[in-house]
Structure 1
Amino acid sequence: MTVTFGPDHIVFAGYEFPWASVHPHGVLPASAVRDASTQVGPPEIRTVSGETLFLSWDDSAGLAGFCRRHGISVAGRLDVWGNLFEPFLDTSFSAAHIAATDARLHAVGLSQSSIDSIRARLTPLMRAYNFDSMLWDWTHLGLYDLLRALNGTLVHPSLPATLGDPFEVYRWAMEIADYGRAKAS
């Protein structure tokens, strides 16, 4: 995946997620960018429509400059998927930490029932992605990891199909990611 920063747009080439608006090649006008994150990884663009698009680490400085030139906010927000996926990390958390994570998710509008339902739906996929694959990530899993798993990275190709229509799952994942919009991470 590569991007080129034009005077008033970003050109995506070889975008790896087939459900994205810019797959495999696309142009995103500056006016379609709501905000971005350049300090967490990988760098992200959030579109006006609520889609999160990823860039490579090498594009962080270019993204920051593009945002400055166009008055686009480089904002922190709660990493909803990072919080949802804590149970799938190769580590353990105290009861207080788990309660604090759930409180952050409640603060952005997710009920405990929703949290539990989302985690249950994705347990087979994320366990396969992090544990069965022997990735053993113990620091962070987020939306990017979910999309990689849905794309068949590190999981058996039949596993993502159990979640339903991949375009619908992608849309659902973007909606959940956007719960963090108004919150700083």
Structure 2
Amino acid sequence: MTVTFGPDHIVFAGYEFPWASVHPHGVLTASRIRDCYVEVGPLEIRTVSGETLFLSWDDKPGLAEFCRRHDIPVVSRLDVWGNLFEPFLDTEFSSSEQSATDARLRAVGLSQSSIDTIRQRLTPLMHSYNFDSMLWEWGHLGLYELLKALNGHLVDPALPAALGDLGEVYRWAMEIADYGRAKAL
């Protein structure tokens, strides 16, 4: 996945997620970008349609300059998927930490029932991604890792297929990611 910054657009080459608007090669104009998140990698672009696109950490200077030139907000937001996937990390969380995580998710509009249903739906996939693969990630799993798992990375190919139409799953995942409220940095 590489990008080139043009005067008023970003060119994506080899974007790895087949359900994305820029897969495998695509152009994203500045006018289609709602905001960007550059605090940690992979970097995120949120489009006006609510799609999250990823860039490499190495693209941070180029993306920051592109955002400055086009007055695109650089924001901080709750990592909804990172919070949803805490139970799939190779880390123990106390009951008070678990309650705080769920409270953050409820604060952005997800009901406890939705939180539980999302986690239950993705348990086989994310368990396979992190534990069966022996990745043993203990710090962070988020939307990017979900998309990698949906793409068959580190998982039994039957697991993504069991979720149904992966294009629909991709759109559903983007809608959930968009629950995180952006705050200007």
User: What TM-score do you get using the length of structure 1 for normalisation?
Assistant: 0.98
Which residue of structure 2 aligns with residue 29 of structure 1?
29
Q: Which amino acid aligns with 1:110?
A: L
| Equivalent position of 1:165 in the other structure | 165
Distance, in Å, in 2 between the alignment partners of 1:112 and 1:183 is: 24
Aligned residues: 185
Corresponding residue for residue 106 of structure 2? 106
CA distance in 2, matches of 1:155, 1:141: 15
SS at match of 2:152: coil
Letter in 1 for 2:169: V
Equivalent position of 2:9 in the other structure: 9
* Identical aligned residues as a percent: 80
**Which runs of 4 or more aligned residues in structure 1 lie more than 4 Å from their structure 2 counterparts after TM superposition?**
none
What SS is found at the alignment partner of 1:76? Answer: strand
Backbone CA RMSD of aligned residues = 1.2
State the alpha-carbon separation in 1 of the partners of residues 36 and 184 from structure 2: 12
Give how far 1:61 is off.
1.0
In 2, are the aligned partners of 1:18 and 1:24 still within 8 Å (CA)?
yes
Q: Which amino acid aligns with 2:144?
A: Y
TM-score, structure 2 as length reference: 0.98
CA contact (8 A) 2:35 2:46 kept: yes
Write the distance in 2 (CA, Å) between the matches of 1:183 and 1:134.
36
Matches of 1:81 and 1:152, distance apart in 2:
18
Structure 1 residue 183, shift from structure 2 partner = 5.7
Secondary structure of the residue that 2:3 maps to in structure 1? strand
Asked if the contact 1:108–1:183 (Cα under 8 Å) also holds between the matched residues in 2, the reply is no
Q: Do the aligned partners of 2:11 and 2:25 also contact (CA within 8 Å) in 1?
A: yes
> Can you give the 5+ residue segments of structure 1 that lack an aligned partner in the other structure?
none
Q: By how many angstroms is 1:184 displaced?
A: 7.9
